């Protein structure tokens, strides 16, 4: 059975052009980019080409502002911990939101063990941060604001440009976790005005194992990985050459095809949302649906639990993700769904449906049919459904 | 795959799903807050479990545990059924992932509660419906608290695990 991928937010397939470039690169490049011999210099040159491609995708005019890392998570850790360490003498306070990715939350929590303090601004029931709340949370001790560009569970986009105006005025550094935005929707660092921005290759059909951090020129930051002088002294360790080459190709394609991809994804999203009531009843769509990622819909289905739905869909050949507490192994509902005010039972029935550039309307039709059947059979089994 | 073949079989084809209209023992455990809810219905005749059915709101393992539990218990005498432990159910399912063991606790707890309900009814003790419900906890039974993510031991009052930094809620201790 072929599996229909409706889980692009977790895993996007490598584009054929990216695969080709990486396979060729495995054969062609054997040198260490730090070596001064010919093989090394060849390798170093292709990294710089990839860096230019990525800088182009972000609209950074200075490719050196892009630092390659191993993942979006590493980028976030580098941004937050690196700024905290370098600016400790200026203050110990970090402003963030209540719906950040765990890489942000835990980086800050780790710093709290070292004496840092944090303020997490709350969000409204669509998951939106109010920039005025961010402004109010900034104190004389604040050294960093970290607010995500788009939320990885509900897709809501944040007013990054507006927040950047505030941080600039208050002379506080601003990092945005844009892992699920970069390469998917237009993200322009000059227009946004951010100081630091984390992203990753996989959301735009590049390889896993490659992330990037945009560090605006002049930002005071220490590396968290010390060693050699790779990545302009910002991130030590021999580069993931093959992955970075794939990332460069994926970035070129993302930039060239952005408009076309957006039209397709928006069509699928609108179609899915309009057809959903014909498949199931008693559900919520989470997030700010008119101002959110085009490749993600978060649906909470009442009276049933997400992991069960996900496993049954998997049996029918549809890959999705869930944010139920059971599936994360935490016995605890998602902090994002709690922050937007869902009750625990409804949060438990939350599915993330994430189509991609090769998803078709027929895939959505098949998925909805499977979802309707599964919802019916799990509700038949549910004491909550039978009690209502 | 996270789950064993047997667990997946019971998840995909759950046995004894439903409600027994004239049940003479009902046990309900869990709440949506901790992820799972399970109701066990018993029809007991001459102290033998003639019929057993379940309804479950929960993850794959919660459904598989419910199904397996009903298979084990069906046809048992009350005394036999009282011996069924959470471990027995998990073992019959060829093991459960560590972080899913709480689901198996739910199963035997619901069964024992249903048997108690039957015995109380027989003894003429009437209980309001709420008392058929019981909250189950997530401790490992040794009185200590462990992080449900990385299994490090937790100090009392910690609201997050010092090792892996996961947040811990009161009820998880």
Q: What is the pTM of this model?
A: 0.89
pLDDT for the residue A338: 92
pLDDT for the residue A323: 81
- In the block, residue with structure tokens 């993330």: A352
pLDDT for the residue A388: 62
On whether both B106 and B173 belong to a single domain, the answer is no
Range of the domain at A125: 16-253
Contact B88, B73 (CB under 8 A): no
Distance from CA of A64 to the nearest CA of B (A): 33
Range of the domain at B16: 5-136
Smallest Cβ–Cβ distance between A381 and the set B17, B60, B172 belongs to B17
Distance from CA of A281 to the nearest CA of B (A): 18
Please tell me the total count of domains within chain A.
Answer: 2
pLDDT single digits (tens) A35-65: 999 999 999 999 999 999 999 999 999 999 9
On whether both A77 and A152 belong to a single domain, the answer is yes
A236-251 in b/e form (b: 16+ CB < 10 A) is eeebbbbbbbbbbbbb
On whether both B87 and B73 belong to a single domain, the answer is yes
On whether both A224 and A329 belong to a single domain, the answer is no
Residue A89 Cα to chain centre, angstroms: 31
In chain B, which stretches have pLDDT less than 70? 1, 32-34, 102-104, 127-173
On whether both A93 and A197 belong to a single domain, the answer is yes
Domain end: A253, A279, A306, which one? A253
Report DSSP state, residue A31.
S
On whether both A149 and A82 belong to a single domain, the answer is yes
Residues on chain B touching A380 (C-beta within 8 angstroms) = 17
Distance from CA of A133 to the nearest CA of B (A): 24
pLDDT single digits (tens) B82-124: 999 988 999 999 998 877 776 667 889 999 999 999 999 998 8
On whether both A98 and A207 belong to a single domain, the answer is yes
- Quick one: which H or E segment has residue A237? none
pLDDT single digits (tens) A175-218: 999 999 999 999 999 999 999 999 999 999 999 999 999 999 99
Contact A5, A14 (CB under 8 A): no
Catalytic residue positions of A, numbered? 326
On whether both A158 and A86 belong to a single domain, the answer is yes
Q: Say how far apart CA B57 and CA B37 lie, in whole Å.
A: 5
Please tell me the total count of domains within chain B.
Answer: 2
Q: What is the CATH number of the domain that holds B22?
A: 3.90.1010.10
On whether both B111 and B150 belong to a single domain, the answer is no
Contacts of B128 (CB under 8 A, 6+ apart): none
Across the interface, do A382 and B165 touch by the CB < 8 Å criterion?
Answer: no
Contact A231, A47 (CB under 8 A): no
- In the block, residue with structure tokens 């899915």: A272
Judged by CB atoms within 8 Å, which residues 82-121 of A form the interface with B? 106, 109-110, 113
Q: Say how far apart CA A188 and CA A170 lie, in whole Å.
A: 22
From B15, B83, B74, select the one nearest B48 (Cα to Cα).
Answer: B74
Q: Say how far apart CA B86 and CA B102 lie, in whole Å.
A: 9
Residues on chain A touching B100 (C-beta within 8 angstroms) = 326, 329
Contact A286, A218 (CB under 8 A): no
Residues on chain A touching B60 (C-beta within 8 angstroms) = 307-308, 311, 326
Q: To 10 degrees, what angle do helices A16-28 and A241-279 make?
A: 160
pLDDT for the residue B36: 81
On whether both B129 and B141 belong to a single domain, the answer is no
Residue A186 Cα to chain centre, angstroms: 14
Q: Which residues share a beta bridge with B53?
A: B41
Across the interface, do A384 and B32 touch by the CB < 8 Å criterion?
Answer: yes
Average pLDDT by consecutive 10-residue portion of chain A (388 residues)?
Answer: 93 97 95 94 97 98 97 98 97 98 96 97 97 98 98 97 98 98 98 98 98 97 96 96 98 98 98 98 96 98 94 96 72 86 91 97 98 96 83
**Rg (alpha carbons) of chain B, rounded to whole number:** 17
Contact A177, A76 (CB under 8 A): yes
Q: In what order do the strands lie in the sheet with A321-322?
A: A283-286, A297-301, A350-353, A321-322
Contact A150, A352 (CB under 8 A): no
Residues on chain B touching A305 (C-beta within 8 angstroms) = 35-36, 57-59, 62
Q: What is the CATH number of the domain that holds A332?
A: 3.90.1150.10
As a residue count, chain B comes to 173
Across the interface, do A384 and B12 touch by the CB < 8 Å criterion?
Answer: no
């Amino acid at each position: 059975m072929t599996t229909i991928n409706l889980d692009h937010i977790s895993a996007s397939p490598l584009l054929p052009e990216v695969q080709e470039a990486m396979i060729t690169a495995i054969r062609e490049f054997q040198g260490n980019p730090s070596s001064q011999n010919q093989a090394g210099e060849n390798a170093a040159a292709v990294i710089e080409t990839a860096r230019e491609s990525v800088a182009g995708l972000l609209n950074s005019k200075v490719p050196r502002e892009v630092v390659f890392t191993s993942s979006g998570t590493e980028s976030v850790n580098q941004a937050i911990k690196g700024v905290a360490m370098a600016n400790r003498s200026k203050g110990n306070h970090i402003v963030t939101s209540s719906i950040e990715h765990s890489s942000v939350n835990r980086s800050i929590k780790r710093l709290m063990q070292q004496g840092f303090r944090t303020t997490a601004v709350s969000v409204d029931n669509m998951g939106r941060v109010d920039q005025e709340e961010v402004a109010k949370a900034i104190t004389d001790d604040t050294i960093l604001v970290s607010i995500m560009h788009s939320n990885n569970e509900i897709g809501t986009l944040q007013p990054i440009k507006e927040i950047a105006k505030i941080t600039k005025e208050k002379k506080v550094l601003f990092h945005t976790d844009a892992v699920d935005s970069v390469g998917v929707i237009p993200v322009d660092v000059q227009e946004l005005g951010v100081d630091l921005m984390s992203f990753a290759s996989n959301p735009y059909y590049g390889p896993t194992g490659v992330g990037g951090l945009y560090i605006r020129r002049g930002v005071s930051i220490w590396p968290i990985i010390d060693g050699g002088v790779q990545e302009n002294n910002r991130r030590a360790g021999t580069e993931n050459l093959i992955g970075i080459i794939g990332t460069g190709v994926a970035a070129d394609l993302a930039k060239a095809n952005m408009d076309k991809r957006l039209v397709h994804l928006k069509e699928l999203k609108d179609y899915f949302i309009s057809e959903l009531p014909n498949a199931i009843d008693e559900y919520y769509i989470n997030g700010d649906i008119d101002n959110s990622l085009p490749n993600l819909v978060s649906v909470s289905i009442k009276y049933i639990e997400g992991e069960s739905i996900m496993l049954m869909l998997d049996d029918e050949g549809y890959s999705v993700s869930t944010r139920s507490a059971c599936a994360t192994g935490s016995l605890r509902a998602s902090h994002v769904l709690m922050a937007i005010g869902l009750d625990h039972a409804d949060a438990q029935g939350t599915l993330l449906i994430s189509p991609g550039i090769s998803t078709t309307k027929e895939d959505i039709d098949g998925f909805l049919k499977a979802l309707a059947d599964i919802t019916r059979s799990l509700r038949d089994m549910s004491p909550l459904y039978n009690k209502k | 795959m996270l789950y064993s073949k047997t667990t997946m079989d019971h998840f995909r084809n759950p046995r004894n799903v439903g409600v027994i209209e004239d049940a003479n023992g009902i046990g309900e455990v869990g709440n949506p807050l901790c992820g799972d809810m399970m109701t066990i219905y018993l029809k007991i005749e001459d102290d033998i479990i003639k019929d057993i059915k379940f309804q479950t709101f929960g993850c794959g393992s919660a459904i598989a545990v419910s199904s397996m539990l009903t298979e084990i218990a069906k046809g048992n005498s009350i005394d036999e059924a009282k011996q069924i432990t959470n471990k027995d159910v998990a073992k019959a399912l060829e093991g459960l992932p560590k972080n899913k063991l709480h689901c198996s606790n739910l199963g035997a707890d619901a069964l024992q509660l249903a048997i108690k309900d039957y015995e109380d009814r027989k003894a003429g003790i009437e209980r309001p419906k709420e008392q058929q419900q019981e909250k189950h906890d997530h401790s490992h039974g040794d009185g200590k608290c462990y992080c449900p993510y990385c299994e490090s031991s937790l100090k009392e009052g910690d609201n997050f695990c010092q090792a892996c930094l996961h947040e811990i809620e009161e009820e998880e201790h």
